[in-house]
Amino acid sequence: MTPHCDRCDVWLQEMLDGNEPDGAVLEHLAGCPACRALYESAVGLRRGLALLPPPEPPASLEDRVVAAVLSDRRRRARRRHFIIRAAALAATVLVVILIAERRAPVPPPPKPVPVVKGPEESGPSLRQTVSLAGSAVADLTARRVDEALETTRLLWPKVEPGSLPTMDMASTLEPTAKPLQTATQGVSAGLEPVAGRARRALALFVRDVPAGGLLSKPGT
Amino acid sequence: MSDEAGLVQRCRKGQPDAIRQLVERFQAEVFGLCVRLLHHRHDAEDVTQEVFLRVFRSLHRWDPSRPLKPWVMGIAVNRCRTWLAQRSRRPEVVDYLHETASAPPADDAAELLREIRAAVDALRPEYRTVFVLFHEHGQPYEDIAAALKRPVGTVKTWLHRARLEVLDRLRRRGMVEGEEQDAEHGPCETKP
């Protein structure tokens, strides 16, 4: 960089900005060769810049630019319309889906399963109890049947064929209807006291049962 | 409504005559700036087209209370910067055609012009931008600052340094007066 005065920086900028130097600057320039040289070079630059022709655009540039701008506008408009149509279509499909969902029969909600506090906490259930009782009865019955069959098998070989008394079956048998009627009446007469006691017991039981039933909790 | 605001409004409506009018009004300025900043006429044509595409896409962002030209030139500067950044990543393609057309100096003035161009082209991009905008496009400091989105003080500093560099080159090349005087007579109050 060529050395120059500090003050040159100021007036050089003003001069190249288009302002002419004032009297004080001209007086300084007369006594300072370095600043005068800078001043003259700045005058040369200013003269050259004034002559500098602006680059001329080619004649076809304007048409090309206008065509490109119009084409760009059309393309952007098409894209905008496409987006609007797509959005409208999407909205329509959404509305149709919502309407279809509203019109469809709604299945009834599943009935809530009553949660009954199971008797597991307090003991075996009624079904388990009955099952156990049934098993016990079946075992007992099977055991008794086995014992009876065994006894019968032991006694059977000791019976002689001629030891049994002969019976005249044809003369002793009576007509079937009469003894059956008699048996029915006899059974009824025999069960009468038992049935009467059962009725009385049931009446007493029903009287003692609370009004809410057997399953209702006390106090509810 | 100002003339520019009306023109912009018609452009936004898509009127072809208004679009052509706006292109006519600014294409020389935009193209000139692009040529100066890019050093390449074909690139400058492409970038000019891009600049106007950007301008018409962004017209809704223009503030009608401000002049249109600095806004357009700001877009042009930005597009040139982007183009230069992209070009720096590609192999260098130098367009000598527009320089060789004026290569034989007809007189001292033509040679001076060629040297000024060469000196300006050798500047840093930000110095070159403010130099071209101020000296070739007549933009005031405020408009340059608005176009570059920089403070006015920064623009003045850049322009000052750009001028000194151009002057120094011209004097070293003997295109302007002063080199011999400097050698013979030292400065009265020098600074480096």
Q: What is the pLDDT along chain A (220 residues), one digit of tens a residue?
A: 455 666 777 888 888 888 887 888 888 888 888 888 888 888 888 888 888 888 888 989 999 999 999 999 899 889 999 999 999 999 999 999 998 888 877 667 777 766 665 555 566 677 888 888 888 888 888 888 888 888 777 776 666 666 666 665 555 555 555 556 676 677 777 778 888 888 888 888 877 766 555 555 544 4
Residue B40 to residue B126: CA distance in whole angstroms? 18
Query: In sequence order, what are the residues at sequence separation of 6 or more whose Cβ sits closer than 8 angstroms to the Cβ of residue B121?
Result: B36, B39, B128
Q: How would residue B130 be classed by pLDDT, with cut points 50, 70 and 90?
A: very high
Give, to the nearest 10 degrees, the angle between helix A33-51 and helix A6-16: 20
For residues B8 and B56, the answer to whether their CB atoms sit within 8 Å is: no
Across the interface, which of B177, B186, B192 has its CB nearest the CB of A40?
A: B177
Across the interface, which of A12, A37, A62 has its CB nearest the CB of B178?
A: A37
Largest CA distance in chain B: 66
Residue B77 to residue B73: CA distance in whole angstroms? 6
Residue A191 to residue A185: CA distance in whole angstroms? 10
For residues A28 and A1, the answer to whether their CB atoms sit within 8 Å is: no
Across the interface, which of B24, B44, B178 has its CB nearest the CB of A38?
A: B178
Q: Assess B25–A contact: CB distance below 8 Å, yes or no.
A: no
How many CB atoms neighbour CB B162 within 10 A? 23
How many CB atoms neighbour CB A15 within 10 A? 20
Across the interface, which of A49, A65, A73 has its CB nearest the CB of B116?
A: A49
Is the complex ipTM more than 0.85? no
Helices (H), chain A: 6-16, 23-31, 33-51, 61-103, 126-155, 169-172, 177-208
Enter the pTM of the model.
0.58
Q: Assess A12–B contact: CB distance below 8 Å, yes or no.
A: yes
What Å distances lie between residue B38 and A56, A189, B30, B113, B120, CA to CA?
A: 15, 133, 12, 18, 12
Q: Assess A18–B contact: CB distance below 8 Å, yes or no.
A: no
DSSP class of B177: S
Which residues of chain B lie closer than 8 angstroms to A2, CB-CB? 167-168, 171, 178-179, 182
Residue at A76: amino acid letter: R
Q: Looking at CA atoms only, how far is residue A87 from chain B in angstroms? A: 23
What's the pLDDT tens digit per position in B52-95?
999 999 999 999 998 899 899 999 999 999 998 887 776 555 55
Residue in A65, A17, A45 with CA at minimum distance from that of residue B11: A65
- The pair of three-digit structure tokens given for residue A211, joined into one six-digit string: 């009004």
Residue B125 to residue B131: CA distance in whole angstroms? 10
Note the pLDDT of residue A117: 59
- The pair of three-digit structure tokens given for residue A57, joined into one six-digit string: 């655009």
Residue A112 to residue B84: CA distance in whole angstroms? 75
- The pair of three-digit structure tokens given for residue B40, joined into one six-digit string: 């390449």
Optimal mutation site among B79, B108, B176, interface A, most CBs of chain A within 10 A: B176
Residue A77 to residue A82: CA distance in whole angstroms? 8
